[in-house]
A and B are shown apart, each in its own frame.
Chain A
Amino acid sequence: MDLHNLRLYISFLNTLSLSSLFKNPNPNPCFLVSKTTHLHTHTEPPLLLFNSSLSYWIMEVAGEVLASESQLHVLAVDDSHVDRKVIEKLLKISSCKVTTVESGARALQFLGLDEEKGSLGFNGLKVNLIITDYSMPGMTGYELLKKIKRSSTFREIPVVIMSSENILTRIDSCLEEGAEEFLVKPVKLADVKRVMNDCIMRGETEGNKRRRVDKRKFEDDNHASSSSSSSSSIPSSPSSPLPSSPSTAATSSPLHSLKRAKLGDHN
């Protein structure tokens, strides 16, 4: 969504001397601005004649768009009460709007109810990111990921997986199914902020899909599979050239290699 364009549009409306139109008891024929996609373009906004209620509606829409634009709406999925509370806080501190649910089934329900046909998020808030725990009873985070990526409606929504278990095969399969990132629990604020930045960058550089794996400090866990092989083979998206524009320079580092060395340190 182009905020700059929206602001231009609003000032254009002001210059039409709206106040005189508001007072007009006989509403003029009007063109409805029904889609914000119109505002994505750089064409001249059409000349609008409208009655007062429509102009108020436009102002309200503009306000909503501005509000929703400044905040990403994240759907967090985790069966643990404690983790839901923590992730909610981490996301709110990172300036996100948050909805937490306790299961994959509930997540799909929420998405289904959220995406009304024809509405572009005016009636509800569009989900910009899904962050889900891996190990959950019923539907695992992996199964949820697959369902989302195989749905034509939702597959564009980035999905981040969280897991307390740092298992290579698990990470690989999540990335292969299209997860943006794999975070090792306990999740820290720095992780969340980085994921949010990536999400914004991703939005700005369409078609530059990078997959990153972050292997942070590994908690001593005997359940981790022995992943001591030396090569780090992270699947890279075949269609993604590394970003070259200066604005993405900060995050254009090549795919992170798995920090295998750290695994050895924690025994």
Chain B
Amino acid sequence: MDLVQLQRQLVDYRTSLYHEGFLDEQFTQLQSLQDENNPDFVVEVVSLFFEDSERLLNELSKALEQQVIDFKRMDAQVHQLKGSSSSIGAHRVQKLCIVFRNYCEAQNVEGCLKCLQQVKHEYGIIKTKLESMFQLEQQILNAGGSIPV
């Protein structure tokens, strides 16, 4: 695939992520903060998001396996996940966290379990999509082109 095609593919892909509600304007904000001095800024922030999310999702899974469930602690963890997903514009994950917190507050185990599965699912999707997008960007850079805004 030639450079122009790659660039077009990236633009289309990105647009679809916004269109389908995977990403919101906060992601655009992040991209606007990237410059020549810090060309990997977005990748770095998103990597931190992946690390944080995986840790939190693990902790939430463990919490729901306990005999006595610590809803307060879980709520704090979901709050953290909501915060970081909001900061990078991971819109669907953020929305699910809101629902998840409601179940925590209501101390509804079934609801929490269901929500956790949904969050894990959505997280998996956005992770794959962002990684694909970064790969496309790298291909463009390798081909000597620049990333279209």
Q: Which residue of A lies closest to B45 (CB)?
A: A85
The B contact surface, by secondary structure, is helix
Does B33 sit within 8 A of A, measured CB to CB? yes
For the side of the interface on B, what is the size category?
20 to 34
Q: Is the CB of A137 within 8 A of B76?
A: yes
**A-side contacts of B80, CB under 8 Å:** 79-80
How far is it, in angstroms, between the C-alpha of A150 and the C-alpha of B45 when the chains are bound? 35
Q: Is the CB of A83 within 8 A of B83?
A: yes
Q: Is the CB of A90 within 8 A of B33?
A: yes
The A contact surface, by secondary structure, is loop
How far is it, in angstroms, between the C-alpha of A223 and the C-alpha of B28 when the chains are bound? 26
Q: Is the CB of A86 within 8 A of B30?
A: yes
Q: Could you give, for residues 65-82 of chain A, a 1 whenever the CB lies within 8 Å of some chain B CB and a 0 otherwise?
A: 000000000000001111
Closest-CB distance, A190 to chain B (whole angstroms): 10
Closest-CB distance, A166 to chain B (whole angstroms): 12
Q: How many residue pairs, one in A and one in B, have C-beta atoms under 8 Å apart? A: 62
Q: Is the CB of B49 within 8 A of A186?
A: no
Q: Is the CB of B29 within 8 A of A85?
A: no
Q: Could you give, for residues 18-53 of chain B, a 1 whenever the CB lies within 8 Å of some chain A CB and a 0 otherwise?
A: 000000001001101100001001001100110110
List residues of A (162-221) whose CB comes within 8 Å of B's CBs. Answer: 164, 185-186, 188-189, 219-221
Does B15 sit within 8 A of A, measured CB to CB? no
Also in contact, A164 and B98, with CB within 8 A (given A82-B45, A137-B76) = no
Which listed residue, A135, A186, A221, touches B87 by the CB 8 Å rule? A186
Does B101 sit within 8 A of A, measured CB to CB? yes
**A-side contacts of B38, CB under 8 Å:** 89
Q: Which residue of B lies closest to A93 (CB)?
A: B33
Q: Is the CB of A186 within 8 A of B98?
A: no
Q: Is the CB of A81 within 8 A of B48?
A: yes
Also in contact, A185 and B29, with CB within 8 A (given A82-B45, A82-B52, A85-B48) = no
Q: Which residue of A lies closest to B76 (CB)?
A: A137
Closest-CB distance, A233 to chain B (whole angstroms): 28
List residues of B (46-69) whose CB comes within 8 Å of A's CBs. Answer: 48-49, 51-52
Q: Could you give, for residues 147-168 of chain A, a 1 whenever the CB lies within 8 Å of some chain B CB and a 0 otherwise?
A: 0000000000000000010000
Closest-CB distance, B34 to chain A (whole angstroms): 9
Q: Which residue of B lies closest to A81 (CB)?
A: B48
Which listed residue, B51, B89, B94, touches A81 by the CB 8 Å rule? B51
Does B84 sit within 8 A of A, measured CB to CB? yes
Q: Is the CB of A219 within 8 A of B86?
A: yes
How far is it, in angstroms, between the C-alpha of A86 and the C-alpha of B52 when the chains are bound? 14
Does B82 sit within 8 A of A, measured CB to CB? yes
**B-side contacts of A26, CB under 8 Å:** none
Which listed residue, B44, B76, B89, B98, touches A85 by the CB 8 Å rule? B44
Interface centre among A86, A135, A164 (most CB of B within 10 A): A86
Closest-CB distance, A55 to chain B (whole angstroms): 35
Q: Which residue of A lies closest to B84 (CB)?
A: A82
Q: Is the CB of B52 within 8 A of A186?
A: no
List residues of B (73-95) whose CB comes within 8 Å of A's CBs. Answer: 76, 79-80, 82-84, 86-89, 94-95
Closest-CB distance, A263 to chain B (whole angstroms): 15
**B-side contacts of A79, CB under 8 Å:** 80
Q: Which residue of A lies closest to B88 (CB)?
A: A82
Q: Is the CB of A185 within 8 A of B33?
A: no
How far is it, in angstroms, between the C-alpha of A97 and the C-alpha of B51 when the chains are bound? 27
Q: Which residue of A lies closest to B50 (CB)?
A: A82
B-side residues, CB < 8 A to A, are: 26, 29-30, 32-33, 38, 41, 44-45, 48-49, 51-52, 76, 79-80, 82-84, 86-89, 94-95, 98, 101-102, 105
When A and B form their complex, which 10 residue pairs have the shortest distance between CB atoms, in order from nearest? A82-B84, A81-B48, A82-B48, A186-B26, A186-B87, A89-B33, A82-B87, A82-B49, A186-B86, A85-B45
